[in-house]
Chains A and B, each alone.
Chain A
Amino acid sequence: MSTSVLILVVLASLGLIFGFILAFANRKFAIEVNPLIHIVEDVLPKGQCGACGYAGCMAYAEAVVLNPDVAPNLCIPGKEPVAKAVAELTGKTAAAVEPRVAQVKCAGSNEKAVRGYDYAGVDDCVAANLLFGGPKSCKYGCLGLGTCVRNCPFDAMTMSPAGLPVIDPDKCTGCGKCETVCPKKVIAMLPLGAHVRVNCNSRDKGPVARKACTAACIGCSLCVRECPYGAVKVENNLAVVDSAICREQCSDAKCLAKCPTKAIRPAVLGIVPGTEDQASVEAACPSCVKSTAAAG
């Protein structure tokens, strides 16, 4: 009897002592958290993609509330509405978010790209890239093993049977996660609205690139000469389109007409690069129709 009373007394006093210590500590070490941080965090999309440059949505919410220099429009997946809401909550002036979408700069599907060897290893681009830069002869192209597809936080990518990822433009938020994980850096975040895009990432010289892939940009500069606005340049044997000039000044997409390998194509979203048909071109870029037809 006396033992059980003793146990009760000891444990009760133990609980009380620790309870008081913790209650006191809770007061003493209390940290004031700005409630606005949680409100801002609720507004963010919580993909935890890190496109804003912070470790996650919580980290960005904290930074944007506490630091007056952090802009409210860094959340790329959230686009305009989130930027506006965050700006309103934090009392900052909203700046526009340029909508962008992921695009694969490679049309080297299984038929078009030449293979140097057969790869039978782990189903992962990073692993394949370690083995002589992957099975494709072109060392710049998409490896097609789907590391980007598995890492997409918004479920916007699928791997097509042709061996190139397809990006759903409605789901893609332009967070840039795929750009980061791709060992070939063949995915780029491109602003919406440009008429044309270059479906190639090869910096090899013309003949080498051509040998490795029938869809390669060979750096011949025909598109550069065709474009009257100077929107296309060739850098390191690869045509590059300045999307701002292309979007704002061009209305006829002349650059498409003479490309010998059809590496520069109308910017049709949501398809395997290089497989656009007449209807999708008409829908996405009416001004490209004529020059696409001229190219055959």
Chain B
Amino acid sequence: MGEYFTLFMGAVIVNNFVLTRFLGLCIFFGVSKNLNASVGMGMAVTSVMTLSSILAWAVYNYVLHPYNLTFLTTIVFVVLIASFVQLLEMIIKKHAPALYNMWGIYLVLIATNCIVLGVPLLNAESHFSFLKSVVHAIGSGVGFALAIILMASLREKLQYADVPKSLQGLGIAFILAGMLALSFFGFSGMIPL
């Protein structure tokens, strides 16, 4: 039990995918302009990452590994996740229109995102068990949500700050993300992955 908890907290805080590994930066900057959108994005990424990790685990352990095809892992996962996200979007659009209206538009944005691809790849590389893969994926998703919600809250505050003209917009956001990452480095080494 403790092992899973360590893995989860490690993925959320210590090895936060956005702030210490710098994955998923495009959505991190693109969708962090307002808090509501970032909450939706965080939820979308968490659920997609969890589901695609489960799928990827199955494919890796029952197809790629037994047939010595592990050198194809990356490209297979890209195709797998992209089509899975498409499929998920169709299903949600049909069966849960309310949910689709809430965060359906974020689904297409993350179809081929590096953070969604990175977690299953890392799971495969570290030879995690099924349960560990799921816990790691949920933790990474929560970590991403934490980072993007923090960032969105900061950027909303920033609208009322007197930012020099040359730094307005993305410029100050990069600096802010750097400082946020710096503070997260305080956790580094507490839990080795």
Q: Do A and B interact?
A: yes
Among A15, A22, A31, point to the contact of B94 (Cβ < 8 A): A31
Q: Which residues of A, 121-173, contact B by the 8 Å Cβ criterion?
A: 122, 124, 127
- Check B86 against A10 for contact (C-beta < 8 Å): no
Identify which of B87, B95, B160 contacts A122 (C-beta below 8 A): B160
Residues of B within 8 Å of A18, CB to CB, are 79-80, 83
Chain B residues lying within 8 Å of A31, measured Cβ to Cβ, are 93-94
- Interface contact A127-B160, CB-CB below 8 Å: yes
Against B, the Cβ 8 Å flags (1 = close, 0 = not) of A28-49 are 0111000000000000000000
In the complex, the answer to whether B94 meets A14 with C-beta atoms within 8 Å is no
Contact of B154 with A by CB under 8 A: no
| Residue count of chain B within 8 Å CB distance of chain A | 17
Min CB distance B85 to A, Å, is 11
Contact check, A10 vs B94: say whether CB atoms are below 8 A apart: no
Interface status of B35 (Cβ within 8 A of chain A)? no
Q: Does more than half of chain B's interface fall in helix, strand or loop, or is it mixed?
A: helix
Do B91 and A10 touch across chains, with their CB atoms under 8 A apart?
A: no
Interface residues of B in 8-46 (CB under 8 A from A): none
Tell me if A25 and B87 are in contact (CB < 8 A).
Answer: yes
Asked if B190 is at the interface of the complex by the 8 Å CB criterion, the answer is no
Indicate if the CB atoms of A22 and B83 lie closer than 8 Å: yes
Render A7-31 as a binary contact track against B, CB cut-off 8 A, 1 for contact: 1001100110010011001100111
Contact B91 A25 (CB under 8 A): yes
Return the contact of A124 from the options B69, B90, B160 (Cβ within 8 A).
B160
Chain A min CB distance to B62 (Å): 14
B51 at the interface (CB under 8 A from A): no
Assess A21 versus B83: contact at CB under 8 Å? Given A124-B160, A127-B160.
yes
What is the chain A residue whose CB lies nearest that of B64?
A: A10
Q: Given A10-B72, A11-B75, A14-B79, are A22 and B87 neighbors across the interface (CB < 8 Å)?
A: yes
Residues of A within 8 Å of B94, CB to CB, are 29-31
The answer for the CA separation of A30 and B94 in the assembled complex, in Å, is 7
Q: Which B residues lie within 8 Å of A127 (CB)?
A: 160
On chain B, the residues within 8 Å of A11 by CB distance are 72, 75, 79
| B76: interface (CB < 8 Å) | yes
Given contacts A7-B72, A31-B93, contact A21 B160 (CB under 8 A): no
Most chain B CB neighbours (cut-off 10 Å) among A14, A15, A21, A124: A14
A122 surroundings in chain B (CB, below 8 A)? 160-162
- A14, B80: Cα distance in complex, Å: 9
State how many angstroms separate the Cβ of A267 from the closest Cβ of chain B.
Answer: 36
The verdict on A25 contacting B160 (CB below 8 Å), with A10-B69, A14-B79, A18-B80 known, is: no
B97 to chain A, nearest CB (A): 9
Inside 8 A of A29's CB, which chain B residues have their CB?
90-91, 93-95
Q: How far is the CA of A230 from the CA of B83 in the complex (A)?
A: 69
Instruction: Establish whether residues A25 and B90, one from each chain, have CB atoms under 8 Å apart when the complex forms.
Output: yes
Closest chain A CB from B22 CB (angstroms): 29
**Contact residues of B between 81 and 132, Cβ < 8 Å to A:** 83, 86-87, 90-91, 93-95
Q: Please give 4 more A-B residue pairs, beta carbons under 8 A apart, in addition to A25-B86, A122-B161.
A: A6-B69, A10-B76, A21-B83, A31-B94
Q: Which 3 A-B pairs have the closest CB atoms?
A: A18-B83, A29-B94, A29-B90
Q: Which of B's residues lie within 8 Å of A, judged by CB?
A: 69, 72, 75-76, 79-80, 83, 86-87, 90-91, 93-95, 160-162
- A-B contacts, 5 of them at CB < 8 A, read A10-B69, A11-B72, A18-B80, A25-B90, A25-B91
